[in-house]
């Protein structure tokens, strides 16, 4: 079978596309974690792009958007991304978010479904409790030393970055803004999406216990299913192929 490859021309500060993609697959939009940049999902994009068009969100305040101030309001992030996704409104669209990205993806899904008048293909939330679960301690208020220690315990940031004071000075402002956006976010409505939700977590992720993920079932009028993968909060970093297979399988079920 011959697969036609294609790539849209992207004219948005918010959207990146790293790989060409199969013409007949859905469009999957990936949302990085707090402090994360679009490149955090480069490997996952490569795996998914064999069967899907993959877009990755680039938040301001990092990489090629370093000169822009990072946003401290999660709903503002969602509104900006929903607007940027306008050119893809005519395609089967699914959203995948990890950690903070799960909340942003959920808010984007609400906006896109209202605009489209029908449900998205699916919403996949990873490594993040449902919006009704409080964030707990306020990490964004920690001083730089304690914030760096928090990152080290999550084991998702390269040790060489944590040891480089100059690089940390560049990275910490956007990270702190992201944490503030998450920790000041409140679920005011309990609004439900119409698409199915799939919840993913690392088995060893003590910060996101299974019952906190299962509460996502209350945020959809459709099906809700859950998967676990070996690893902690950043299980994604070593399991991109396994996660990609799960994403494509779950989206295929949504399309059938």
Is 98 in the active site? no
Is 99 in the active site? yes
10 CB burial (10 A radius; 0-12, 13-18, 19+): middle
Query: d(Cα 185, Cα 190) in Å, to the nearest integer?
Result: 13
Catalytic residue chosen out of the listed positions 45, 99, 126, 174: 99
Query: d(Cα 125, Cα 129) in Å, to the nearest integer?
Result: 9
Query: d(Cα 205, Cα 222) in Å, to the nearest integer?
Result: 26
Instruction: Check residue 63 and report its DSSP letter.
Output: G
What are the distances in angstroms from CA 124 to CA 134, 216, 225, 236?
A: 20, 10, 10, 13
Query: Quick one: how far is CA 205 from the chain centroid?
Result: 17
Query: d(Cα 100, Cα 131) in Å, to the nearest integer?
Result: 11
| Length in residues, the chain | 256
Catalytic residue chosen out of the listed positions 33, 41, 140, 233: 233
**Residues acting as catalytic residues:** 99, 233
């Amino acid at each position: 079978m011959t697969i036609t490859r294609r790539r849209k021309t992207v004219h948005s500060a918010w959207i990146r596309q790293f790989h060409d993609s199969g013409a007949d697959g859905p469009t999957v939009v990936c949302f990085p974690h707090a402090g994360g940049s679009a490149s955090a999902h480069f490997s996952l994009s490569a795996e998914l792009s064999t069967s899907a068009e993959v877009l990755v969100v680039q938040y301001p305040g990092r990489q090629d958007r370093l000169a822009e101030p990072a946003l401290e309001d999660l709903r503002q992030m969602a509104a900006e991304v929903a607007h940027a996704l306008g050119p893809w409104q005519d395609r089967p669209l699914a959203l995948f978010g990890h950690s903070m990205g799960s909340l942003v993806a959920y808010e984007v899904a609400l906006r896109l479904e209202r605009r489209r008048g029908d449900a998205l293909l699916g919403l996949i939330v990873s490594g993040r409790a449902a919006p009704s679960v409080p964030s707990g301690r306020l990490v964004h208020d920690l001083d730089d030393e304690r914030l760096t220690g928090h990152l080290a315990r999550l084991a998702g940031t390269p040790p060489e970055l944590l040891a480089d004071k100059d690089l940390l000075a560049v990275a910490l402002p956007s990270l702190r803004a992201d944490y503030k956006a998450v920790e000041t976010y409140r679920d005011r409505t309990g609004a439900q999406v119409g698409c199915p939700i799939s919840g993913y977590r690392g088995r060893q992720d003590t910060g996101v216990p299974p019952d906190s993920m299962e509460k996502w079932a209350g945020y959809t009028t459709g099906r809700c299913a859950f998967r676990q993968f070996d690893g902690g909060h950043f299980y994604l970093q070593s399991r991109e192929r396994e996660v990609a297979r799960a994403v494509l399988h779950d989206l295929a079920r949504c399309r059938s």
